[in-house]
Amino acid sequence: MSTTMTPTREELGLPTFKPHHAISPGEIAIGVIIGRTSEFFDFFVYAIASVLVFPKLFFPFVDPLTGTLYSFAIFALAFIARPFGSLFFMALDRAYGRGVKLTIALFGLGGSTAAIAFLPTYETMGNTAIWLLAIFRIAQGFALGGTWDGLASLLALNAPENRRGWWAMVPQLGAPFGLIVASALFAYMIAVLPAADFLEWGWRYPFFVALAINVVALFARLRIVVTEEFQTLFESRDLQPVSVMGTVSKEGRTVLIGAFAPLASFAMFHMVTVFPLSWVFLFTREAPTRFLLIEVLAAVFGLVAVLFSGRLADRYGRRTLLGTCAVGIAVFSGFAPQLLDAGTAGELTFMIGGFILLGLSFGQSSGVVASAFATDHRYTGSALTSDLAWLFGAGFAPLAALLLSTHFGLIASGGYLLSGALATLLALWLNKELASR
C-alpha cells in the first residue's frame, strides 16, 4: 500500500501566513494613502466640474452665477447622504465583513462617478438631466459613507507613542494628492481641446479615470484589510463595527465635539479649493487652465505642510497645533479673501498661504478627539465623526462663500471661515475640559 504525501504550500509556490509577523505602521500607511487619494480624486473631479462644466450643461437657462449656485447646491447633497451611507454600510460590515462592505462601497463610488460621464445634458433631456445629476451625486455620498475601513484608526493605535502625530497625518496626504491629479488632468484636457470639444466630451474623461483609480484602490485596500493578520489586529484593537445608535447613545457627546473640532480645517478646505476657482472663473478674465495650475502648485505646498504638521504635533501636541492653526485661520479670514481680486500675485499669495495653513491644520484634524472614544466604539464613532465634520464644515462651504461674496463682497466669505475657526476653538476647549474631569 503506497503512501502519498500532500505537497506543502512552499512546494506549490503559494504564499504562507506568518502568524508572528509584526505589522508595521508603514504597511498600513500604504493602504491608507492609496484609499484616501482615490476618494479625494473623485471628490475634486466632481468639484471642478461643478464650476467649469455643470452650470453650462445642466443650468443653461439661468445666468452663470445662478447656475454655479445651483451646481453647488447639488454638490452639497453628497455630504448630506454620507451619514446615511455609514448607517447602511456599518450594518453590512457587521453582517458580512469589512471586505464585502468595501467592495460594494468602492464599486458604488466609482460606478456613480463614472455614470456622471454618461449623463445627457439639459439640452437633450431637460429637467431629467438635472435630476439624474442629483441622484448620482447622492449615490456618491452614500457610497463614500461605506469606504471607512478603520485603517486610519489602526494606524494611530499601532504607531509609536512619540510619533502619533506623524502617523496621524498620513491619511490626510490623500487630499493634496487627489487635488494635484484632478486639477492637472482638467488643466490638460482644457489646454489640448477646443472649448466645444471639452464641453462635448472632454470633461467626461476624468470621471472615467475615477472608476479606474477606485478599482486599483479597492484591491490595494482589500490586500491589507482581509488578511488574517489584519483581521486579528482589528479584533485585538477592538476596531469592530458596532451599532450606530448604541454608539450615539453612549458616545454622542464625543461624536459631537469631534465633529466640530476640525471645522476650521474643513471650512478652509473648500475656501482654497472649490470657492476660489468659482470666483476667478465667474468674475475675472483669467483662463481656467492657469488657475488650475496655480491650485496644483499651492497643493504641493499643502502637501509639505501636512507632512510638517506631524512633526509639530509630536513636539507640541495635536490640540495645541489645531488651536494655533484655528487662530491663524481666523486672522486669515479677515483679509485674505480679498487677495483673489488682486491679480496673479494676490491669487498666488492667497492660495499658497491658504494651503500652508490648511495643510498644518488638516494634517491633524482627524485624530485629536478619536482617542476619547471607548475602544469598542472607536471604529464606528470615528466614521460618524468624520461624516458630520464634513457635513457641518465643508458641505455647504462653496455655496455659502459664493453667496456671501456676491452679495456683500469677498470680505464676507471670510465670515464663514471665522465661524469655523471659532467652532474649532470652542470644541477643543470643551474636549480639554471633559478630559480633565
Domain boundaries, the chain: 25-436
Q: Provide the grid cell at 381.
A: 464613532
**Does the structure show a pLDDT above 50 at 399?**
yes
CATH number for the segment(s) 25-436 = 1.20.1250.20
User: Can you say how many angstroms the Cα of residue 6 is from the centroid of all Cα atoms in its chain?
Assistant: 49
Q: Which whole number is the average pLDDT over 242-263?
A: 82
- Write down the pTM of the prediction: 0.86
**pLDDT for residue 271:** 87
Contact between residue 237 and residue 375 where contact means Cβ atoms under 8 Å apart: yes
What confidence tens digit (pLDDT) does each residue in 98-147 have?
888 888 998 898 899 999 999 999 999 999 999 999 999 999 999 998 88
**Does the structure show a pLDDT above 80 at 297?**
yes
Q: Rounded CA gap, 377 and 147, in Å?
A: 18
Structure confidence at residue 236 as a pLDDT band (50, 70, 90): low
Q: Provide the grid cell at 363.
A: 494634517
Q: Which of 398, 433, 73 is nearest to 257 (CA)?
A: 433
Structure confidence at residue 392 as a pLDDT band (50, 70, 90): confident
What confidence tens digit (pLDDT) does each residue in 364-380 have?
876 665 666 777 777 78
Q: Rounded CA gap, 76 and 69, in Å?
A: 11
Contacts of 433 (CB under 8 A, 6+ apart): none
Q: Which of 94, 84, 383, 395 is nearest to 251 (CA)?
A: 383
HSE-CB at 220 with a 13 A cutoff on CA atoms is 19
Q: Rounded CA gap, 12 and 36, in Å?
A: 36
Most confident of the following: 71-85, 264-278, 403-417: 71-85
Residue with the bigger pLDDT between 352 and 8: it is 352
**pLDDT for residue 2:** 45
In Å, how far are 91, 281, 411 from 340, measured between CA atoms?
45, 11, 10
User: 168: part of which helix (H) or strand (E)?
Assistant: helix 164-168
HSE-CB at 154 with a 13 A cutoff on CA atoms is 28
Most confident of the following: 11-20, 240-249, 264-273: 264-273
Q: Which whole number is the average pLDDT over 330-357?
A: 90
∠ at Cα 309 (306, 314), nearest 5°?
A: 145
Q: Rounded CA gap, 201 and 180, in Å?
A: 22
Structure confidence at residue 16 as a pLDDT band (50, 70, 90): very low
Task: Kindly state the percentage of the chain with pLDDT values over 70.
Answer: 85
**What is the overall mean pLDDT for the chain?**
84
Q: Rounded CA gap, 390 and 392, in Å?
A: 6
